[in-house]
Structure formats: structure tokens, C-alpha cells
């Protein structure tokens, strides 16, 4: 595995691979890798000839009160994990390389960035869209893989790629979970033992709502209430939002008649966890 830190070296590598007719698949990450990331890497391997994984903790997607400085990092461990997955390139640029001094250009995906996490983290998706556009311009992948755990991020990136006529296939990957249902996340490392136990309430609540939906309940108020009830049973949980919205536009819905996203964000101490479930009628 090659480790590339320099933007022009990354460009050169991609150019050579593309000239040789190889299909490059990119997996953007912020590092501190877990099995969820590695599943994306394996999916990338299955979808292309060359796999590039980027590790970049992107400052512009963190707000002033967010955990940028504290975000967990362990480059040596990440490097070993990616080496074992036969990744071709680990792209690990510095902040200065990605944001040259005086940078003033950003990508804003307007409507999709506003609800859900966008409403509590203003500017977050502007940072995400900007860095992903940069990574696409540098690594020039044929395809890129993103996890459905960050469902809104996936939608924002799909929209950006379409709106800016980017020649990149955007591939979504299902949520990878721990045995008890907790969605894997680098931020799970922040959880104390008791918070870790309590954190399973997100997926438990979503499962209960899904079961109710499958039994015929379509009203947003009822489905949201089931999740809320589950979350409120955990004194360590501070609910940020529970929302039912259209799975494409992310606009709130009152009832499910087209595919809908049931999404939750909950804080446990300094850990902010998100999870979601897409609910759709059979054949829908
Ligand atoms: P991050 O390092 O948290 O920015 O995540 C990098 C990529 O991995 C993003 O596309 C995430 O959506 C994806 N990802 C993180 N956790 C999971 C998970 N549990 N299941 C599926 N994808 C994930």
C-alpha cells in the first residue's frame, strides 16, 4: 500500500491508473477506522480495480462547539488495518494541502443541507460537500462509496455530484452495526460503559417503529412517538431530534406514502450519535 500525502502525487497516481484503464474507487473517511469503514473498503474492492482510502479530519465540517480537536485519531492503527485490506493508496493530506492559505471557495447544497443534522450543525454540510468535491478533483475516482449511517450526507453528495455534473458514481452502503444493533461509529469511542449500554436505544427504537410500520401504522406522529418513548427510557440520553421525512428530499412528512427516512440524533455525554431506518411500503 502506498501512502500519499501530497496532492500533486495523488493526482499523478490517479492519472497513471486512469491512463491504464483502471477503475478507481474512493472511500473518504476521517480515520479511527472500524468495521463499518472496512466494509466500505471491501465493497470498493468489489466495485473497482484500484481502491483509494482517504483519511482527513476535515476542519470545515466542525462547528465552533464541535469536537474537531478531540476527534479520535490513530494513524498507525488505521494504516495497518488498510494494509491488511489490500488498499492501493492511503491518501492522507494535511489541512494546508486541502485548504491552501486564502481559500474562499465552498460548495453549498442548499435545501438538503438544512433539516436534520443541518439544523443543529449549521455549516456542517457545506464543509462536507466542499471537502468531498476537493477529494474528487484530486483523486479523480470513477466511483466513491459512502455509508447510509450518514444518510443526509449521502443525499447531499449525490445531489452535489448530479448538480455539478461530476463524473463520479456515488455508491451507498448499508449501515454496519455491532452485534446488539448499535451503528458503528468512530464517536462510539467517547462512550463510557454505561453510555455504551444505553446507546442501543437508538436502534431499538428504530426497530420498534419499523415493526409498527410493518403492522400498518403510517402516521409520522405515532412512529416518532414509539422512538421517543424508547429513547426517554434512558436517562443518559439527550434527544436532539427524531424525524420522519421524505427519503429523497428530506422534507418532513405527516405519513408514509413514499419511501421515508426515520432519523434520530441523540447525545450521550460528549458523544453525538445518529441512526436511521428507511421505511417503505412493499413494492414501493
Ligand atoms: P467517517 O470516518 O465517520 O467520516 O465515515 C467515513 C465513511 O464511512 C462515511 O461514508 C460514513 O457514512 C461511513 N460509515 C461510518 N460508519 C458507518 C457504519 N456504521 N455503517 C456504514 N457506513 C459507515
Average pLDDT over residues 258-271: 98
What's the CA-to-centroid distance between 35 and ligand 1, angstroms? 10
User: What mean pLDDT is predicted for residues 191-210?
Assistant: 98
Phi and psi for 173 in degrees, rounded to 5? -120, 135
> In the prediction, which pLDDT does 225 show?
98
- Return the closest-CA partner of residue 55 out of 87, 26, 31: 31
| Count of other CB atoms within 10 angstroms of residue 37 | 24
The model's pLDDT over 157-178, given as tens digits with 9 standing for 90+, comes to 999 999 999 999 999 999 999 9
Closest residue CA from atom 5 of ligand 1: 29
44 CB near ligand 1 (under 6 Å): no
Question: Which residue, 250, 243, 241, 242, is CA-closest to 110?
Answer: 250
DSSP 5: -
> Which three three-digit cell numbers place residue 243?
424525524
- Residue (of 214, 207, 215) closest to 262 by Cα position: 207
pTM of the entire structure? 0.98
Give the pLDDT band of residue 247 (cuts 50, 70, 90).
very high
> Is 80 exceeded by the pLDDT of residue 213?
yes
Q: Identify whether 173 is a catalytic site residue.
A: no
Asked whether 51 and 25 are in contact (CB, 8 A), the reply is yes
Which of 37, 206, 275 most suits a substitution to test ligand 1, by most atoms within 8 Å of the C-beta? 37
Using pLDDT thresholds of 50, 70 and 90, give the confidence band for residue 181.
Answer: very high
Mean pLDDT of the region 131-144: 98
Mean pLDDT for the chain?
98
Q: Ligand 1 mean position to 45 CA, how many Å? A: 16
pLDDT tier at 283, thresholds 50, 70, 90: confident
Query: How many A from CA of 206 to the centre of ligand 1?
Result: 19
Stated as kind and residue range, the H or E segment containing 222 is helix 220-232
pLDDT surpassing 80 at residue 284: no
Amino acid at each position: 500500500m502506498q501512502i500519499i500525502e501530497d496532492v500533486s502525487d495523488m493526482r499523478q497516481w490517479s492519472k497513471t491508473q486512469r491512463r491504464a484503464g483502471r477503475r478507481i474507487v474512493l472511500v473518504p473517511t476521517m480515520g479511527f477506522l472500524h468495521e463499518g469503514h472496512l466494509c466500505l473498503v471491501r465493497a470498493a474492492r468489489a466495485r473497482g480495480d484500484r481502491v483509494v482510502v482517504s483519511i482527513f479530519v476535515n476542519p470545515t465540517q466542525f462547528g465552533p462547539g464541535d469536537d474537531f480537536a478531540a476527534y479520535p485519531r490513530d494513524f498507525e492503527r488505521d494504516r495497518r488495518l488498510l494494509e491488511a485490506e489490500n488498499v492501493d493508496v492511503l491518501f492522507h493530506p494535511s489541512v494546508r494541502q486541502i485548504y491552501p492559505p486564502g481559500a474562499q471557495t465552498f460548495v453549498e447544497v442548499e435545501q438538503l443541507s438544512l433539516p436534520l443534522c443541518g439544523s443543529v450543525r449549521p455549516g456542517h454540510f457545506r464543509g462536507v460537500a466542499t471537502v468531498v468535491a476537493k477529494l474528487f478533483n484530486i483523486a479523480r475516482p470513477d466511483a466513491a462509496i459512502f455509508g447510509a449511517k450518514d444518510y443526509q450526507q449521502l443525499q447531499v453528495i449525490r445531489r452535489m455530484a448530479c448538480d455539478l455534473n461530476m463524473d463520479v458514481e456515488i455508491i451507498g452502503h448499508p449501515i454496519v452495526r455491532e452485534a446488539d444493533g448499535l451503528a458503528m461509529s468512530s464517536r462510539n469511542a467517547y462512550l463510557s460503559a454505561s453510555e455504551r449500554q444505553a446507546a442501543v436505544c437508538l436502534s431499538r427504537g428504530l426497530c420498534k417503529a419499523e415493526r409498527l410500520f410493518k403492522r400498518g401504522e403510517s402516521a409520522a406522529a405515532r412512529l416518532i412517538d414509539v422512538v421517543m418513548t424508547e429513547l426517554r427510557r434512558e436517562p443518559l440520553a439527550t434527544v436532539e431530534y427524531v424525524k420522519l421525512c421524505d427519503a429523497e428530499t428530506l422534507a418532513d412528512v405527516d405519513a408514509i406514502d413514499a419511501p421515508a427516512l426515520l432519523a434520530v440524533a441523540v447525545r450521550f455525554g460528549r458523544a453525538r450519535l445518529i441512526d436511521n431506518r428507511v421505511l417503505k411500503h412493499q413494492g414501493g
